[in-house]
């Protein structure tokens, strides 16, 4: 998040924090043993509260234990000491000056040297430092040039990195890492294991989230594409703070007006408005093609206009009967689902640069499907699977088989995309998606002992996730995702790993709810609709009675939202986006209720 945390992370091998209460001493006090002790105590105390293991100074400790000497050139701030110190806060050589002479002296005395280039002054002095390092090092040495944290707002931006050494050449090739699965992007936590491997040392278990950086000779470096990705990622992350509240507000206001107040009075106009809301998540992908020079307001207007285009269909056709309403919902759900599947199947190029994706500068990984997109995919699949069978009037055996197989195919496609390591690679949402589709079947089919079937669905979900994890863990390390790594750790650490994983997710979700002011009212909104759908209140019950086919998908989405809240570390984000997408279906179904209660001459004006 900050430059200080970047320095501490470099020495710890895992994402670390810097005390925010200024309890650590200044740089000069670190030369005193008591000051250094206070520094270590404050740093370890701050990182002990994290829900995962952080070994402060592990890189320096491992190197010094193996007999190597460490040095820091340009030490100006206390947090910079953490990049090369050992467990006692000691570094063999430190200097406050960052000059080519000081660097050459450090290289002559130490094996691992960390340089604070910012202490050198301007860009030309930094260039002199890099040139001095490049000339002083031989081909067997490793030179890494990088910014530990971009000087931008949190959750946004990328820092460049250059590597030269026995496994890297200064050529126009891309650095690669199994941590990110995205060519040209590596993570800051990949630096410590790369450094230790260069010295022939094994990283400790706490480095499980990082990987050794490699190089791809067949993928040339495209500087323009990297710059555009960085700019798009930062821009979309800022736009996300506008589009999510706007979509939530539209859904929270327009759906109750359509269901309770029956506004607008014209049925085709109301159907068009609900259909436009259903198309909003898909329309938000338009940001990938919009000019970056446009303002946020212009982007939002373009998204709303794109969503409004399919909303013209009910106005043009004038059809608001139950089959037509089901067709509108299937059209929106199928289009949204198809768009997400195509994106994931092609390497997820849109995920980092669209609102329904993941924040580029914040994600622990840059592959697979994000929680928001997985929630939309689950909701779209549930609606399409439940309503597609209502579109056919044929009663022959072939039509019945199609009506049975089509929902199953849709459900399997959604679960497969979210679960498969090469596509979605989202473990928590895999369980939630299986629960969603299982709940859909349990609610829709006239089975007895539904609690037993619910237990069977949960058992199948757990078994499916274990199979996916086992398959992923059997692949080579450069192809393995975080799911396979977690499976390895589960085998090595047993139940303690599961307990730590649950504690980490719960802590992250709680911190998100505590630190984001909007999470309070949003959580209440989610709880209200979850209760209203699972224990239908008056206006929801009337809608379900008028169009029974919408009850199974909406209740399955409510159940999946609850499951996703506990299985992921994003709080109520997933149920929020699921309800944003699915609740307009209530507005469409309310039209069926109105059609049934409308007088014959009004319901059939052409008779």
- Per-residue pLDDT of 464-492, as tens digits, reads 888 888 998 888 877 788 888 888 888 88
Q: Is the dihedral of CA 160, 163, 168, 172 positive or negative?
A: positive
pLDDT surpassing 60 at residue 58: yes
Distance CA(509)–CA(503), nearest Å, equals 10
Averaged pLDDT, 577-594: 91
Q: Rounded to whole angstroms, how far apart are CA atoms 556 and 333? A: 15
Burial of 394 (0-12, 13-18, 19+ CB in 10 A): exposed
Whether the per-residue pLDDT at 604 is higher than 50: the answer is no
Element (H, E) at 471: helix 450-473
Give the per-residue pLDDT at 206: 85
pLDDT higher than 90, residue 605: no
Average pLDDT estimate for 345-365: 83
Q: Which residue has the higher pLDDT, 31 or 157?
A: 157
> Hey, which of 148-152, 221-225, 490-494, 596-600 has the most confident mean pLDDT?
490-494
Give 325's pLDDT tier (boundaries 50, 70, 90): very high
Stretch 113-140: mean pLDDT, rounded?
Answer: 91
The DSSP element (H or E) to which 244 belongs, if any, is helix 223-259
DSSP state of 204: P
At 268 the pLDDT is 94
Q: What percent of the chain has pLDDT over 90?
A: 50
* Predicted local confidence at residue 108, as pLDDT: 94
> Across the chain, what does the average pLDDT equal?
86
Tell whether the model's pLDDT for residue 60 goes beyond 60: yes
Given this model, what pLDDT does residue 596 score?
Answer: 52
pTM: 0.86
pLDDT at 569: 81
Q: How would residue 607 be classed by pLDDT, with cut points 50, 70 and 90?
A: very low
Q: How far lies 54's CA from each of 1, 44, 414, in Å?
A: 16, 9, 36
Q: What are the pLDDT digits (tens) for 160-205?
A: 888 999 888 765 678 888 888 877 888 889 999 999 999 999 999 8
- Pick the range with the lowest mean pLDDT from 119-123, 134-138, 386-390, 453-457: 453-457
Helix, strand, coil content of the chain in percent (nearest 5):
65, 5, 30
Rounded distance between C-alpha atoms, residue 74 and residue 129, angstroms: 11
Range 140-143 contact pairs with CB under 8 angstroms and sequence separation of 24 or more: 140/165, 140/166, 141/165, 142/166, 142/168, 142/194, 142/195, 142/198
Q: Residue 391: CA atoms inside 13 Å, Cβ hemisphere, count?
A: 19
- Residue 22: per-residue pLDDT: 52
The whole-number pLDDT of residue 335 equals: 97
Q: What are phi and psi of 446, to 5 degrees?
A: -80, 60
Least confident of 104-108, 209-213, 217-221, 514-518: 217-221
The residues pairing with 220 across neighbouring beta strands, listed in sequence order, are 173
HEC profile for 385-444? Answer: HHHHHHHCCCCCHHHHHHHHHHHHHHHHHHHHHHHCCCCCCCHHHHHHHHHHHHHHHHHH
Lowest mean pLDDT among 37-41, 104-108, 343-347: 37-41
Percent of the chain beyond pLDDT 70? 90
What is the per-residue pLDDT for 395?
A: 65
Strands 112-115 and 161-164: unpaired
Domain ranges of the chain: 3-221, 227-599
Q: Which two tokens stand for residue 463?
A: 């078994």
CA dihedral sign of residues 340, 456, 460, 413: negative
- Residues with Cβ within 8 Å of 118's Cβ and at least 6 positions away in sequence, in order, are 74, 76, 98, 126
């Amino acid at each position: 998040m900050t430059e200080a945390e970047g320095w501490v992370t470099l020495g710890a091998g895992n994402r670390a924090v810097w005390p925010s209460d200024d309890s650590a001493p200044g740089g000069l006090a670190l030369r005193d043993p008591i000051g250094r002790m206070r520094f270590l105590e404050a740093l370890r105390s701050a990182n002990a509260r994290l829900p995962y293991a952080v070994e402060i100074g592990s890189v320096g400790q491992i190197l010094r234990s193996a007999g190597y000497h460490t040095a820091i050139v340009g030490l100006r701030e206390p947090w910079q000491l953490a990049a090369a110190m050992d467990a006692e806060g000691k570094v063999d050589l430190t200097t406050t000056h960052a000059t080519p002479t000081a660097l050459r002296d450090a290289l002559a005395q130490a094996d691992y040297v960390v340089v604070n280039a910012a202490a050198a002054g301007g860009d030309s002095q930094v260039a002199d430092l890099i040139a001095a390092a490049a000339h002083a090092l031989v081909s067997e040495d490793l030179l890494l040039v990088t910014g530990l944290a971009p000087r931008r707002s949190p959750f946004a931006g990328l820092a460049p990195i250059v590597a030269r050494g026995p496994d890297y050449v200064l050529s126009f090739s891309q650095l690669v890492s199994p941590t990110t699965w995205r060519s040209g992007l590596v993570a800051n936590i990949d630096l410590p294991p790369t450094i230790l491997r260069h010295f022939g040392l094994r990283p400790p278990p706490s480095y499980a989230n990082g990987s050794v950086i490699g190089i791809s000779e067949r993928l040339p470096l495209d500087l323009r594409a990297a710059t555009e990705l960085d700019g798009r990622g930062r821009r979309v992350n800022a736009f996300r703070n506008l589009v999510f509240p706007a979509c939530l507000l539209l859904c929270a206001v327009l759906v109750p007006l359509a269901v309770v107040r029956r506004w607008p009075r014209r049925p085709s106009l109301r159907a068009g408005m609900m259909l436009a809301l259903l198309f909003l998540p898909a329309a938000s992908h338009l940001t990938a093609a919009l000019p970056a020079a446009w303002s946020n307001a212009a982007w939002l207007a373009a998204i709303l206009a794109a969503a409004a285009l399919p909303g013209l269909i009910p106005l043009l056709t004038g059809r608001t009967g139950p089959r037509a309403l089901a067709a509108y919902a299937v059209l929106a759900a199928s289009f949204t689902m198809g768009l997400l599947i195509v994106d994931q199947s092609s390497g997820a190029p849109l995920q980092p640069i669209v609102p329904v994706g993941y924040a580029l500068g914040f994600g622990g990984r840059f592959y697979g499907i994000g929680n928001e997109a997985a929630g939309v995919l689950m909701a779209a699949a549930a609606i399409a699977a439940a309503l597609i069978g209502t579109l056919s009037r044929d009663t022959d055996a072939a039509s019945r088989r199609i009506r049975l197989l089509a929902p199953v195919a849709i459900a399997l496609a959604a679960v497969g995309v979210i679960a498969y390591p090469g596509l979605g690679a989202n473990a928590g949402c895999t369980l939630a998606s299986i629960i969603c589709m299982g709940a859909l079947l349990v609610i829709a089919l006239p089975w007895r002992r539904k609690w037993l079937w619910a237990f069977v669905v949960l058992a199948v979900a757990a078994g499916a996730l274990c199979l996916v994890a086992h398959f992923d863990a059997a692949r080579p390390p450069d192809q393995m995702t975080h799911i396979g790594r977690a499976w390895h750790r589960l085998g090595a650490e047993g139940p303690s790993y599961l307990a730590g994983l649950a504690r980490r997710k719960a802590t992250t979700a709680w911190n998100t709810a505590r630190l984001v002011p909007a999470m309070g009212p949003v959580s209440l909104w989610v709880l209200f609709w979850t209760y209203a759908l699972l224990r239908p209140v008056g206006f929801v019950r009337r809608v379900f009675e008028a169009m029974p086919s919408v009850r199974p998908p909406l209740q399955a989405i409510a159940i999946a939202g609850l499951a996703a809240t506990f299985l992921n570390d994003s709080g109520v984000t997933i149920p929020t986006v699921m309800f944003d997408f699915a609740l307009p279906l209530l507005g469409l179904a309310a039209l069926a209720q109105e059609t049934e209660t409308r007088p014959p001459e009004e319901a059939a004006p052409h008779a």
